[in-house]
Amino acid sequence: MKINEKVFAAKTMLSDTTPLHTFLVKGKDFSVLIDSGVATMFGDIVGVVEQSKSSDIRFLFNTHPHADHIGSNRQLKEKYGLLVAAPVGSERWIEDMEYHYEQFCLPFPEILPHSDETKRDILGLMDGGSKVDLSVTEGMTVRLDGETQLTTLALSGHMMYEIGFIEHSTNTLILGDAITLYEGDLFPGHFSPKQYRATVKKLGELNRKHRFNQVLTAHFEPTDSEGLNKHLLGVHHMIDQVDWTIHQILSEAAEPLSLEPIWRAVCERMGRIFEFRGLAMVHGHLSEAVQDGRILQVDGLYTVR
Ligand SMILES: [Fe+2]
Ligand SMILES: [Fe+2]
């Protein structure tokens, strides 16, 4: 799919309602891919490379190391001899599949223990580990030709390690999961509400400055400056709602609660399924509320002050 004269997208559906996009930015000197989707998207991405008539695919950038963004790394590396570039800190998630599974799916194995099925499902989205050749931080410029320039942004929150891009000649913002699906039956997860709020604010400020012509994300349809503001509001509201729900649960509880019943009650009240992403997210909210003195924690039990 052609987005504009420099940017192309591959698309698949992860579920009936959740799309997954990966991107190609074409320059005269070379082109780059942004994210590699799931393993089965390899053919679609090759199709987009052909549609764009790009001759030299030099880099594959992973916005962050979740399975649906790194799934075709190995096949793309083999086919194009490209270099894999990913946010600094994310390398081991991409190179070591056992580590990936443990870090992602087993945040609290005493609450959600190892399951062969989950492991098969998650690791099955990826074509195996691949070496990260370049570790990326904010403020890098990738010059694809005299006018086509990508700059990198650090967008921590959904994950500790996440980057996004501005393509300046077309004024396009390209993101992975820096804006997560704020509605739906699953918490996409964010490890730090504080850092996520900071990223939402940063994207809002960038949008005021640039008034992006196009805003591309992995799991929403392509949108514009106005659509970005709507999504930012949605994410902001979801973060607030998790905080309020936790506060309510603890206020109503007759005695201090541990992580598990709090997490289960948050999922029930917000209508989301019980899953490891939501578990890590609720823990992130609790930890920051304890740091801020809004919630008291003694021996793994939480209570409101
Ligand atoms: Fe993600
Ligand atoms: Fe994703």
Confidence of residue 93 (pLDDT cuts 50, 70, 90): very high
Q: How would you list the strands of the sheet with 7-13, edge to edge?
A: 7-13, 19-25, 31-34, 57-61, 83-87, 134-136
218 Cα–ligand 2 center, Å: 6
Residue 241 is predicted with a pLDDT of: 97
Burial of 138 per CB tally in 10 Å (0-12, 13-18, 19+) = middle
64 Cα–ligand 1 center, Å: 7
- CA–CA distance from 230 to each of 55, 178, 224 (Å)? 37, 14, 10
Candidates 209, 212, 208; CA nearest to 225 is 212
29 Cα–ligand 1 center, Å: 30
> Which two tokens mark 215?
């805003």
230 Cα–ligand 2 center, Å: 19
HEC secondary structure over the chain: CECCCCEEEEEEECCCCCEEEEEEECCCCCEEEECCCCHHHHHHHHHHHHHHCCCCEEEEECCCCCHHHHCCHHHHHHHHCCEEEEECCCHHHHHCHHHHHHHHHCCCCCCCCCCHHHHHHHHCCCCCCCCCCEEECCCCEEECCCCCEEEEEECCCCCCCCEEEEECCCCEEECCCCCCCCCCCCCCCCCCHHHHHHHHHHHHHHHHHHCCCEEECCCCCCECHHHHHHHHHHHHHHHHHHHHHHHHHHHHCCCCECHHHHHHHHHHHHCCCCCHHHHHHHHHHHHHHHHHCCEEEECCEEEEC
* Other Cβ atoms closer than 10 A to 230: 10
pLDDT in tens, 145-161: 999 999 999 999 999 99
Judged by its nearest atom, the ligand closest to the C-alpha of residue 217 is: 2
CATH number belonging to the domain at 7-235, selected among 2.40.50.140, 1.10.486.10, 3.60.15.10, 3.40.1410.10: 3.60.15.10
162 Cα–ligand 1 center, Å: 9
Percent of the chain with pLDDT over 90: 98
Judged by its nearest atom, the ligand closest to the C-alpha of residue 178 is: 1
Better-predicted residue by pLDDT, 129 or 163: 163
- CA–CA distance from 113 to each of 102, 109, 146, 282 (Å)? 10, 4, 52, 17
Average pLDDT, the chain: 97
**Listed range (2-6, 98-102, 184-188, 197-201) with the worst mean pLDDT:** 184-188
Residue 114 is predicted with a pLDDT of: 97
- 136, pLDDT greater than 90: yes
- 305, pLDDT greater than 80: no
- 42, pLDDT greater than 90: yes
Confidence of residue 112 (pLDDT cuts 50, 70, 90): very high
pLDDT in tens, 63-76: 999 999 999 999 99
pLDDT in tens, 211-260: 999 999 999 999 999 999 999 999 999 999 999 999 999 999 999 999 99
* Other Cβ atoms closer than 10 A to 76: 25
Residue 162 is predicted with a pLDDT of: 98
250 Cα–ligand 2 center, Å: 31
Confidence of residue 55 (pLDDT cuts 50, 70, 90): confident
170 Cα–ligand 2 center, Å: 24
- 129, pLDDT greater than 90: no
245 Cα–ligand 1 center, Å: 23
